[in-house]
Structure 1
Amino acid sequence: MERIWLKSYPEGVPADINPTAYPSLGDFFAASVERFRDRVAYVSLKRTMTYGELDLRSRAFASYLLEVVGLPRGARVALMMPNLLQYPVALFGALRAGYVVVNCNPLYSPRELHHQLADSGAEAVVALENFAQTLEKAIAGTSVRVVVVTGVGDLIGGARGFLANFFVRRIQRAVPPFRLPQAVRFNRALAEGRARKAELPRIEPTDLAFLQYTGGTTGVPKGAMLTHRNMIANLQQVAAWIGPVVGEQGETFVTALPLYHVFALTVNAFVPTMIGANNLLIPDPRDLKSFVKALGDTPFTVITGVNTLFNALLHNPQFLRLDFSRLHVAVGGGMALQRAVAERWKQVTGKPLIEGYGLTETAPIAAVNPLTVEDYSGAIGLPAPSTDIAIRDTEGRDVPLGLPGELCIKGPQVMAGYWMRPDETANVMTADGFLKTGDIARMDERGYLYIVDRKKDMILVSGFNVYPNEIEDVVMSHPGVREVGAVGVPDDRSGEAVKIVVVRKHEGVTDADIIAHCRQHLTGYKTPRHVEFRDTLPRSPIGKILRRELKDPSEPKKQRQKQAADEKSD
């Protein structure tokens, strides 16, 4: 497809970037910490860490892995932590030492964690002690031989660090007993690494940087192989895009999404490092009271999140009273942004909510709206610099401009393939080098992309395509609806029918009210036939609504039974 989107690029944004601006993430990191050595890099639980301290600690951790435990070049190092200071130290330490980072969700079950450790061949794990019991149950039968365990307060230090650990262990009782006799404490590992001062290896652009696991909703999770070149390319693409708006002075990022997720990994771990920004780490955004208090204590300029996170903030009275005078960029990714949430955000903060689009397989940014847009348009934006786009039908043919088809992406940020899954790689990569995303999209005459829906989530009603995103947008515009998810369910007459699962703002809202509202805005076959009310909707770790769990009305009961069984087994 001709790059018609270039005519819509903001002034100063180039058509192409240099994907080898740095040979590796280690070289990128070294250059950044040298420039910004005295600036505050991270704030976590009121403890600050400068770029200089991050440099020394990450080098110490690299030396520990290289010299003390002697991991071979290219070994996989799993990280299993929320947003604490230990995460960037371990992340940059492992990358500088030439290892491959495997990000693990701390909330994994032992089965899920075992699969990821075994599949990746990880030889080392760094885990928060709160989740060490899960690691103990998952580690048998894997290649893990190095275990580093840390506590919440370990890098806070002093009396405050001691009290933080005491509170989590003794008051909250959030550290279940575990037995990992091979485990070494994080601070001891740093101390041993500082004493060795290993020489850091040369890393090539084609070396793997991450095995970032994805696809758990459609089958066995698989590791997307992201090289140093993939990650540097995406950083250069983001740098080119944000350069006219986000500077290298006075920026404070809010990092509420977990850094182990690819969106936050790039946008909240690497981008602030690139510009020397301060980074406010939120360990648990589900604790809205603490989250909003931290926002009130920290004048912030950039915030990222997903639709459900922004929606939750907008329903918090304390958030509505915050000072947003310094905020100038708010970016939503990871899931579709809903019009009602975007418009309410603009009303409350005075700033637009910028939507972008990406995948684990694209490191992740593939498209984003200009940071200068004023209002929500429904578009996911323009393709990033050095990115080619194709919209194709089921036969692999390009569709005419404006018509929907599968979104296909080509660029230096596209993964090298799936780890040990050549068959899965072949399923998503075309002969001409495009990644098939599985998303249905269209492009307008200006080059803006619009996601219609996920291919697998599409509902087929009497032969007509119905896209859940459209249904959810309409339902969310009802004043009595807090959240909604739309799915297709079997129907004897139409094959499938639309079902919506709704979280109400108050119990006075009825299914008849919502269906009447939908009839005003949707054609007949798109109007929901079934309405179910729930107190909450099932979500992934980053807040995506899990549509597959909305189809079964007994799902909430099953979830409660599963949770009770898990607690009993623990």
Structure 2
Amino acid sequence: MPATITSPLSAAVVGEYHATDVWRDQTIYEIVSAHATDRPNATALRSSYRNFTWFELISWVDALAADLASRGLKQGETVFVGSPNRMETVVALLSASRDGYVCCPSPHRNHTVSEIANMCERAACAAYLHEPGHGADAKGDEILTAIGKLKSLRHIYRLGSADDGVPFAGLLRPNIEGGSEPKGNPDFVTYLAFTSGSTGQPKGVMHSDNSQLVAARGITEAWSLGPDTVTCSLSPLSHNLGCGTLWTSLVCGGEFLLHDWPRGESLVDHLEAANVTYLVGVPTHAMDFLADLESRGIERYDRLESFRVSGAACPEHVSCALYDLGIPVQKGYGMTETNGHQHGRMGDSRDIVAATSGVCCDGYELGVFDPNDPDREVPIGTPGLIAGKGGSLMLGYFNDPDATALSMNAGGWFLTGDLGKLDEEGYLTLTGRRKELILRGGHNINPNLIESLALSHEAVYLAAAIPVPDSRLGERVCLAVMFEDGHSATIADILDHLADEGLSRYDMPEFWLPVSDIPLMPNGKLDKLEIQRRIRTGDLVPQALT
């Protein structure tokens, strides 16, 4: 395996992106540097412990870049970040942009030590930023033992407490002479994200500054974001949605609020204290936000200029509840491989907000293809397999050209695996996911539809429709339900509700599984594989419906 990561894109593709101004000759670091020159004392980043100006931010980026170089790191080598949201993560990402390193912020608190070590080994980790205890089964520095013998590893930054407000306190070499000029190139790979692995071993997704900036610029322009915008991502920087939101904030030149406060503290209190105007999260974040507002008896909320709900399909009742509060809802769509290229438009009607996932940003396009013949595009309005191509697309899967090739059709369209349709105005409506379809005796059942309808029941907080094996039919549907606090319902109530909402009797659940908790993956999506694993081990036992 190579020790450095390079782009597999051809010169012709890169040249076409630049010729059409989809890609530009500016790194993310250079964007930040321009803000630091024009508005050095304006706030760029807020944590729970202090604010950082644009000048302070760029100074810390330069300091880390110099320290990495002094420890022998070269362009294309990887810098891993194993910590929760904190200032050092932002600095590491921007240092990669500055000098052409490849930053991987994927290690998430839900990952085990062995999973994080596997990522580091696969991508030849050269430097590791470590907060003790980070990881699902970590208590201290276990990851350092796990990766300590990697031949690629040059240095470990063991981070202290974030509450002193000093990034890399005592960890950077002082007085490094001859600070170099930035070496970054916006076309180089600077970001490596490992997918959540819901369908097997996580794949490493490679992006350049340019491929990440397409969506950031598109959203900034569509929603008129600017220096007065205060942005907060409820998704962590270990997830592509979190990083994409950071890039958007840096592009518009506003303030970025780190979501670094403890669980259980009021979301609304933190947002209002920072005067957040642009909020981004997954549907579960939206549900928590709505619950916080409801607990205060708030019926109208005008402090947000936009709430982007993305990362997973947003149930209609959630987006409508936000809309009815007076919050401009920006339902998005994308994936790690494509970035968050979809966005709603300002002034979208309630029906559009409820039913669609917006339109494509400039520089990227969607098509819909026949699921049984992915090379055949279907007419507008016809449901099928969603595919995309353009400047927002990944540069490829790390060290896996076969997987990269298999992800494309003959025309070079990236096949998402999601099902949906486009209308005449370019709005996307999601209808399900091809890989998640439950096959019952030859009949395809869409679990997303069942979940969406179940979530519209007032007692249901989360719902997951999963397959259970059947010797005769192959698979049958099991509905796992987590109730709202203080609420409950019988399965008869749920089935009646599904029928009233229009679910076909041929798609009805045949097993019932009330649970106290439905696990989520790091990206906020339901971890259906974990539910199925617990069923196989006997930790969860579905009840057959007669």
Shorter-chain TM-score bucket reads 0.7 to 0.9
Deviations 1:432-479 (A, max 9, x none): 221111111111233211111111111123433221121111111111
| 2:343 paired with 1:368 | yes
Return the offset for 1:533: 0.5
Superposition RMSD on alpha carbons, in Å? 2.4
Q: Is the 8 A contact 2:196 2:521 kept in 1?
A: no
1:263 is matched by which residue type in structure 2?
A: L
Query: Which of 531, 536, 545 does residue 550 from structure 1 map onto?
Result: 531
Q: State how 1:182-221 maps to structure 2 within 5 Å.
A: 186-190=168-172, 192=174, 195-196=176-177, 198-214=179-195, 216-221=197-202
**2:14 paired residue number:** none
> Contact 2:24–2:186 (CA<8 Å) still a contact in 1?
no
State yes or no: 1:62 paired with 2:65: yes
Deviation, structure 1 residue 209: 1.0
Greater shift after overlay, 122-131 or 407-416? 122-131
Tell me by how many angstroms 1:295 deviates. Answer: 2.4
CA distance in 1, matches of 2:316, 2:201: 33
- Taking the aligned partners of 1:469 and 1:532, their CA distance within structure 2 comes to 17
Residue 517 in structure 1 maps to residue 497 in structure 2: yes
Write out per-residue CA displacement over residues 310-343 of structure 1, whole angstroms, 9 at most, x where no aligned residue: 1123223686457843211000111110112112
Residue number in structure 2 paired with 1:135: 143
Q: Write the deviation string for residues 465-518 of structure 1: whole angstroms up to 9, x where unpaired.
A: 221121111111111112111122233554332211111234541111101111
The 1:197/1:261 distance shift into structure 2, 3 A limit, reads: farther
- In the alignment, the residues of structure 2 paired with residue 292 and residue 96 of structure 1 have an alpha-carbon distance, to the nearest angstrom, of 35
Asked if the contact 2:286/2:318 (under 8 Å) is kept, the reply is yes
Q: In the alignment, what sits opposite 2:161?
A: 152
TM-score with structure 2 setting the length: 0.87
* AA partner of residue 531 (structure 1): W
CA distance in 2 between counterparts of 1:319 and 1:226 reads 41
Aligned partner letter, 1:153? A
Distance 1:546 1:284, change over 3 A: farther
Q: What secondary structure sits across from 2:153 in the alignment?
A: coil
The match for 1:483 is 462
Between the aligned partners of 2:426 and 2:250, the Cα distance in structure 1 is: 31
For the 8 Å contact 1:256–1:283, the answer to whether it is kept is: no
| Pair 1:294 & 2:270 matched | yes
Kindly state the Cα deviation for residue 150 of structure 1 after the two structures are TM-superposed. Answer: 1.1
Query: Is residue 391–residue 398 contact of structure 1 (8 Å, CA) maintained in 2?
Result: yes
Can you list the C-alpha shifts for 1:236-292, whole angstroms capped at 9, x where unaligned?
A: 33333223xx2332x21122210121111012x11111222122211256x132544
% identical aligned pairs: 27
CA distance in structure 2 between the partners assigned to 1:279 and 1:24 by the alignment: 19
| Distance of 2:240 and 2:171 partners within structure 1 | 26
Q: 1:28 aligns with which of 31, 41, 56?
A: 31
| Residues 196-222 of structure 1: per-residue CA shift (max 9 Å, x gap) | 351133323331111111151112112
Q: CA deviation at 1:47?
A: 1.1
Bigger relative contact order, structure 1 or 2 (CA pairs below 8 A, ≥6 apart):
1
Determine the C-alpha separation between the residues in 2 that align with 1:150 and 1:410.
39
Amino acid at match of 1:147: I
1:301 Cα deviation from its structure 2 partner? 0.6
CA contact (8 A) 2:113 2:142 kept: yes
Which of 415, 437, 455 aligns to 1:436? It is 415
User: How far apart, in 1, do the equivalents of 2:450 and 2:367 lie?
Assistant: 26
* 1:61 shift after superposition: 0.8
The answer for the alignment partner of 1:74 in structure 2 is 76
Distance 1:115 1:371, change over 3 A: farther
What TM-score, normalized to structure 1? Answer: 0.83
Distance 1:17 1:473, change over 3 A: farther
Asked if structure 1 preserves the Cα contact closer than 8 Å seen for 2:97 and 2:184, the reply is no
Match of 1:390 in 2: 367
Note closer, same or farther for the CA distance 1:155–1:425 as it changes in structure 2 (3 Å cut). Answer: farther
Question: For the Cα contact (< 8 Å) 2:160–2:169, is it kept in 1?
Answer: no
SS in 1 for 2:429: strand
Structure 1: gaps of 5 or more residues = 1-15, 158-184, 560-570
Distance in 2 between residues matched to 1:486 and 1:252, nearest whole Å: 37
Deviates more, 1:234-243 or 1:419-428: 234-243
Closer, same or farther: CA 280–236 of 1 in aligned 2, 3 Å? closer
- 1:173 is matched with none
SS in 1 for 2:327: coil
Letter of the 1:437 partner, please give it: T
Pick the structure with more helix per residue: 1
State whether structure 2 residue 286 is matched by structure 1 residue 310.
yes
Alpha-carbon separation, structure 1, partners of 2:106 and 2:425: 39
**8 A Cα contact 1:459 1:497, kept in partner:** yes
CA gap of 1:283–1:17, structure 2 versus 1, over 3 A, is: farther
Alpha-carbon distance between aligned partners in 2 of 1:432 and 1:351, rounded to the nearest angstrom: 40
2:354 matches 1:377: yes
| Alignment length (residue pairs) | 508
What are the within-5 Å matches in structure 2 for residues 40-439 of structure 1?
40-66=43-69, 68-107=70-109, 108-131=111-134, 133-142=141-150, 143-153=152-162, 155-157=164-166, 186-190=168-172, 192=174, 195-196=176-177, 198-214=179-195, 216-243=197-224, 246-249=225-228, 251-267=229-245, 269-283=246-260, 287-316=263-292, 320=296, 324-347=301-324, 349-362=325-338, 364-375=339-350, 376-393=353-370, 394-395=372-373, 396-439=375-418
Residues 62-121 of structure 1: per-residue CA shift (max 9 Å, x gap): 11111x212122211111222112221222123212211111324221210111101111
> Structure 2 counterpart of 1:426, which letter?
A
Change (3 A) 1:279 1:206: closer
Alpha-carbon separation, structure 1, partners of 2:211 and 2:105: 17
> Following superposition of structure 1 onto structure 2, how do residues 441-460 of structure 1 map, counting pairs within 5 Å?
441-460=420-439
Inter-CA distance 556–48: structure 2 relative to 1 (3 Å threshold): farther
Aligned partners of 2:219 and 2:343 also within 8 Å: no
Q: C-alpha displacement at 1:54, in angstroms?
A: 0.3
Return 5+ residue gaps in structure 2 as ranges: 1-18, 135-139, 541-546
Contact conserved, 1:306 with 1:332, CA < 8 A, in 2?
Answer: yes
SS at match of 1:410: strand
CA contact (8 A) 1:282 1:291 kept: no
Instruction: Tell me by how many angstroms 1:413 deviates.
Output: 1.3
Whole-Å Cα distance in 1 between the matches of residues 456 and 537 of structure 2?
Answer: 25
